[in-house]
Amino acid sequence: MPTNRGTSKSNICLTITLYILQGMNLGLASSIPLFLIYYGATWKDRGTFNFAKYPFSLKLLWAPFIDVLYIKRFGRHVCVDGFAITLFAASNPQWASTSQSIGQTFGRFLGSSFLLTFESANFTNRFIRKPLSLPYQTTGLFSLVHFVRFVAVAFLIVTVCLIIFVREKEETLDANGKKAHDLSLIETYLSIIKLFKNLLGVSRENLGLVNIPVTLATLIAPLIIRHTERALDWYARFYVLYLIHALPLAAYVYFTPRMISFGYYYPILIILLAISEFIKMLQTTANFGFFASICQPDISGTYITLLVTLSNLGYALNSSAVLYAANLLPKKYDYIIAVSACLLLGLLWYCFSYQTLKRLQKLPASEWHITKETNISVATTLEEQVRNDQNI
């Protein structure tokens, strides 16, 4: 990690840049289903494509390698989440969440709205080439291939700059300010076991244009709770607001075919989507802020990856299940049934989980940390189980 551990502007800019690159990939992944819809893909086809998100959700498998095995000359914490946790652990961990939200939001905007809008030949011919008296083309300002190449080059440039300009310290401090013990690769994987025990109808270019003002709202949202120390309390409040707002938004989407020709359709849609994304971004920021506050510094990459993996995997599994289930529902009522079922499940989850959230928020950060001795005890227990099985 860089020598300067304070909440400096350079650290904030660095993490935001890294999250922008990460967000561009996520935005690109969210744009592909719109291309699939454009070419006539079914619900089942889109559900199949959703499996492409699973490797990102299962990155826990290689996170311990990043934490333990590295070249000192190049540094460690290639995992962006762990890197951000380390940068702001000594000053304000919430900045890790704020940087993630701002960077990923802008990156998603580039990979989704920006791509969908300017890749469209219809939009660029009407609003760019025609006003400039340029000849019409059958393609946009760039193609999907050009955008992917641009992202690849951006990754290479930023990676080279990190290797050259960013210097890291070898020592890591624990929650008490003492030098943390170095864990071996096996011990880091064993720590995962202990962590588990501790863990208590619109065209695509128009949709891209609609998302531009929505993105502005999501960029502002993370700044509201950048200094909070009770992230889970805020998450619970935002969850209720999100469920309430889902009702008018779902109804508006359902009646889109009847209203899309009226002049008021897009302004109201922008307002509803902006409110929805604003609340969701507040949830995401609070969620990651809680992760950052309880993360253990010496295995920050593995720890934050475990938490984010469970969160992402839950989202991916739910998305796949809903898409496949919607393909089996009556075509006339599939949207209404799917939305109603999801809202009901969300309400039930909140009712059963509220007290658990309150209890988890009150736990000190040290309760979430593990020690070298804990890993040894886990390893000893596993060895004893193996011996007993062999004796049997």
213 confidence band (pLDDT: 50, 70, 90): low
Distance between CA 117 and CA 209 in Å, rounded?
6
Distance between CA 58 and CA 246 in Å, rounded?
29
Tell me whether residue 152 is exposed, middle or buried, using C-beta atoms within 10 angstroms of its C-beta: 0 to 12, 13 to 18, 19 or more: exposed
Distance between CA 370 and CA 188 in Å, rounded?
10
CA distances (Å), 261 to each of 123, 212, 256, in order? 18, 21, 9
> Of the spans 41-50, 204-213, 249-258, which averages the highest pLDDT?
249-258
* Helical pair 334-362 and 300-328, crossing angle rounded to 10 deg: 160
For the entire predicted model, the pTM comes to 0.55
64 confidence band (pLDDT: 50, 70, 90): low
Give residue 74's pLDDT.
56
pLDDT in tens, 347-392: 998 998 888 888 888 888 778 877 655 444 544 554 555 455 555 5
CA angle 230, 235, 237 (to 5 degrees): 100
Domains and CATH numbers, the chain: 9-384 (1.20.1250)
Q: In which residue are the tokens 């065209």 written?
A: 203
Q: What is the DSSP string of 249-285?
A: HHHHHHTHHHHTTSTTHHHHHHHHHHHHHHHHHHHHH
Report which of 343, 35, 307, 270 is spatially closest to residue 192, judged by C-alpha positions: 307
Contact 248, 306 (CB under 8 A): no
The share of the chain scoring above pLDDT 90, in percent, equals: 5
* Helical pair 80-88 and 300-328, crossing angle rounded to 10 deg: 130
